[in-house]
Amino acid sequence: MKGKNIGEGRTPISISKLTPSDTRWPQRLSDRLSANTPLHLWTRGKLETLSMHKVGLFCSVRCPGDAILGAYEAARKLRDEGVTVVSGFHSPVEKECLRILLRGKQPIIICLARAMEKIRLPADWRGAMEAGRLLLLSPFEKRPRRPTTDSAQRRNEIVAALSDEVLIIHAESGGSVARISQMVDLWKVPRLDLPRAVRIA
């Protein structure tokens, strides 16, 4: 179902509304989240990316140095091997991984913790989207305009539910990524640890 076109300079942002009744809806999202499944997803980009094998990427805001170095090497390997990565790309390490991934040619899915409406795309995001490599998702239409603790947790749950495998770079004890770590274990989502991720072939 088509949504809105929102102008951003000379580049319009075409937003679509995806509902569970749509054949392109990721069934895994409904299976895993059950009663907490979003009523819809606001999307921008190629929905075909949702059907690809996806690695979910998570990292807490605070992250030890050795894990940071492993994360960057893992991101380069995921990029070079053409692996589709889904993440909120919000913490500092996640943002740096996104910068590395954007240099490749593989698909990327960014799940937002804020409303899709009136979002301004950074230049490197626009380039990837125009190349058909970037898909934006959000369960929020108009609010919140900025990420909140609750919306970030909701975003992370959606990322985890969409993932075929997960790479949890670091989970701060008691933090939101630690809760996601428990969730993916409950769903029996396969994990990639940093040494394995570096050796992806």
Secondary structure (3-state) at 192: coil
* pLDDT tens string 95-130: 999 999 999 999 999 999 999 888 888 999 999 999
> Average pLDDT, stretch 169-197?
88
Task: Identify the CATH class of 45-198.
Answer: alpha beta
> Which DSSP category does 37 fall into?
-
The proportion of the chain whose per-residue pLDDT surpasses 70, expressed as a percent, equals 90
pLDDT of residue 141: 83
Q: Indicate the Cα dihedral angle 192, 87, 136, 49, nearest 10°.
A: 0
Between CA 160 and CA 41 the distance in angstroms is 15
- Name the residue among 81, 130, 74, 62 with its Cα closest to residue 98: 74
> Average pLDDT, stretch 40-60?
96
> Average pLDDT, stretch 38-67?
94
How many other CB atoms are found less than 10 A from the CB of residue 73?
15
Angle between helices 149-162 and 176-187 (to 10 degrees): 30
pLDDT band per the 50, 70, 90 thresholds, residue 150: very high
Selected residue with higher pLDDT from 59 and 65: 59
pLDDT of residue 13: 53
First to last CA, the chain: 38
Give the distance from CA 176 to its chain's centroid: 15
- Name the residue among 40, 43, 48 with its Cα closest to residue 13: 43
* pLDDT tens string 63-81: 998 899 999 999 999 999 9
Average pLDDT, the chain: 89
Domain boundary assignment for the chain = 45-198
Q: Contact 72/167 with Cβ under 8 angstroms? A: no
Between CA 25 and CA 41 the distance in angstroms is 9
pLDDT of residue 12: 54
